[in-house]
Structure 1
C-alpha cells in the first residue's frame, strides 16, 4: 500500500506520541491502531504493523530503563521466559479461536483496575512486601498476560503494571520499567508470527517505529525523573482512555 507524503508524516508523529505515552503508562495502542485503520489499512495488517512499530517503542524504553539501573536481568529473566512461552501460545491460539470471546470482558477488567488505582492514593509510592513469590508470580502472570498479548493485546501494559505493584510489591517506577521488558518480549513473539504470515507493512511500521524510538526515550526519561504521583495520574488517564475506547468498540460498534 502507498500513501501521500502527509500521511507518512502523520504516521511518524503518531509514533512519537504513542511511544511517549506507552513508556509512561501503557496504552499507546489506543492511538496507533485507530490511525492505521483510518488510513484504510485492513485490520489484520493494521495489527501486524502495530506490533512492528510497538516493538521499537518497548525496546527503546526497556533499554533506557536498563541503562539507568531500573532493571537487572536477575529480576526479570523468569518473567521474560514465561512471557515468551505465553505469547507463543496466545499467538498460535488466535489462529484457532475468535478474539471476540475476550473483547467484551476487557472493559470490565480495566474498569476494576481504574477504580482500584483511583481509590488507592498511596499505590506504588514505595516497595512493599510481595504477596506472591517471584517464581509463582511470573509463572501465573508471565504465561497469562503473555498469552493475552499474543492473543488479543489491548491493556497488556496496564495489567502488568497493576500486577507488579499489587502482588509483586514493586513501586510504580520499577513496575513501569519491568512492564516494558515484558511488553517487548510478547511484542517480539507476535511480530515474528506476523512477519511469517506476510501481513506487515514495513515502510509504515518502520516509520512509526522511528517515532516510537523518539517518544519512548522521552517518556522513559520522564518516568525516571518524575515523582510516582505524576506516573499514577498519567496511568489513570491512559487506563480511563483505553477503557472508554474498548467499551465503545465492544458495545456500540
Structure 2
C-alpha cells in the first residue's frame, strides 16, 4: 500500500508513545491500532500489522532491562511456557473470530485493572523487598499467565495489565522487575502470534516497520525512566494508563 508523509509521521509518533506506554505499563496499542485503521487497514489487518512494532519494541526494552540487571531469569522457563501456549491459542482465535469481540474484551480489561489499582494497589504494586513467589509454588500463576497469553495473542492492547496482574499480583515481583518480565513474555507470545498472522497473510510490512521504528525509540527511553523513577510514580502512571485505555475503548467505533 502507498504510505503518505502524514501517515508515516502518524505511525512514528504513535509508535514512539506506544513504546513508552507499553514498556512502563500497557495499553500502547490503543494508540497504534487506531493509527493503522485511520490509514484504511481493516481491523484484522491492523491487529496483525501492529505486532511488528510490538516485537521490535519488546526486543529493545528487554535488552535495556537486561543491561541494567532488572530481568529476573530464574523463573523465565515456567513463566514463558504458559504465555507462549496462550499466545498461539489467542492468535488462532483472532484470525477467525469476529473483530467485534475486541472492544468489549479491551474495555473489560481496562476497567478491571483500574478498579484493582484503585481499591487494592498492593496487589499490582507490591513493596520493594516483598518475597517473590516462584511459579512452581504458585499454581494460580499458570492460570493468569495462560490467560494473559490468550488475551495478548487475540487483541494485544492492554495485555501488559494482565501480565502485571500475574507477575506482580500472583508472583509478587516489584513493578520494575515485573515490567521486565512482562516485556520478556510479550516478546515471545507476540512472536508466536506473528507466525500465525504471517501464515494467514494478514501483515502489511511497510507500515508495520515504520511503526516499529517509533516503538523502538520509545522503548529505549522508557527503560531508562523505569530504572530511575520511584515505584509510587510507576504505580500512578499505570493507573493513569488504565483510565486512558478505558476511555479509548469506550470511544472507539
- Compute the TM-score of the two structures, normalised by the length of structure 2: 0.90
Q: Which runs of 5+ in 2 are unaligned?
A: none
Q: CA deviation at 1:18?
A: 1.2
Question: Residue 2 of structure 2 corresponds to which residue in structure 1?
Answer: 2
Q: Please give the alpha-carbon distance, in whole angstroms, between the structure 1 residues aligned to 2:134 and 2:72.
A: 18
- For these two proteins, the number of residue pairs brought into alignment is 249
Distance 1:58 1:85 in 2: 18
- Indicate which of 157, 177, 200 corresponds to 2:160: 157
Q: Structure 1: any 5+ residue segments left out of the alignment? A: none
2:128 maps to 126
Which of 212, 215, 219 is the aligned partner of 1:216? Answer: 219
* Cα pair distance change 1:94/1:3, threshold 3 Å: closer
If the length of structure 1 is used for normalisation, what is the TM-score?
0.90
Please state how far the C-alpha of 1:53 moved relative to its aligned partner: 1.1
Residue 75 of structure 1 aligns with which residue? Answer: 75
Q: Aligned in 2, Cα 1:207/1:103: closer, same or farther, shift over 3 Å? A: closer
8 Å CA contact 1:125, 1:229 repeated in 2 = no
Alignment partners' CA distance in 1, 2:234 and 2:130: 18
Q: Are residue 116 (structure 1) and residue 116 (structure 2) matched? A: yes
Measured in 2, the distance between the counterparts of 1:93 and 1:41 equals: 19
Post-superposition Cα deviations, 1:132-188, rounded to whole Å, max 9, x if no partner, equal 651324422222211121123321101111222222111111111111111111111
Structure 2 counterpart SS, 1:199 = coil
Q: Does the C-alpha gap of structure 1 residues 188 and 230 become closer, same or farther in structure 2, counting only changes over 3 Å? A: same
Instruction: Tell me by how many angstroms 1:244 deviates.
Output: 1.5
- SS state at 1:188 partner: helix
Per the TM alignment, residue 100 of structure 1 is displaced from its structure 2 partner at its CA by 4.0
Q: 1:20 to 1:101 in 2, by over 3 A?
A: closer
Given that residues 141 and 166 in structure 2 are in contact (C-alpha distance below 8 angstroms), is that contact kept between their aligned partners in structure 1?
A: no
2:35 match: 35
Whole-Å separation in 1 of the counterparts to 2:170 and 2:141:
11
CA RMSD across the alignment: 2.0
Cα offset, 1:98, TM superposition: 3.7
Between the aligned partners of 1:101 and 1:201, the Cα distance in structure 2 is: 22
- Is the contact between residue 141 and residue 171 of structure 2 (CA under 8 Å) also seen in structure 1? no
Q: Deviations over 1:190-233 (max 9, x none)?
A: 11111122221111111111111111000011101111111111
Matches within 5 A, 1:1-253: 1-98=1-98, 100-101=100-101, 103-120=103-120, 123-129=125-131, 133-135=134-136, 136-249=139-252, 253=253
Aligned pair in 2 of structure 1 residues 120, 141: CA closer, same or farther (>3 Å)? closer
Deviates more, 1:184-193 or 1:112-121: 112-121
